[in-house]
Amino acid sequence: MIKNGTRLASQVCDTQVIVVKSADSLDDLRCGGAPMVPVGGERSSGEVDPAFAAGSVMGKRYVDEGGAEVLVTKPGAGSLSVGQTPLQLKEVKPLPASD
Name every residue whose Cβ is closer than 8 Å to that of residue 98 and which is 6 or more positions away in sequence: none
Of 24-32, 43-51, 53-61, 78-86: span binding another protein (CB under 8 A): 53-61
Identify the H or E element spanning 38. strand 37-38
Please name the helix (run of DSSP H) or strand (run of DSSP E) that holds residue 21, with its range, or none. strand 16-21
Q: Does 89 bind another protein (CB under 8 A)?
A: no
77 binds another protein (CB under 8 A): no
Tell me the sheet residues that pair with 31.
34, 80
**Residue 99 interacts with another protein (CB under 8 A)?**
yes
> Which residues in this chain contact another protein in the complex, by CB under 8 A?
4-5, 18, 20, 58-61, 71, 73-74, 92-99
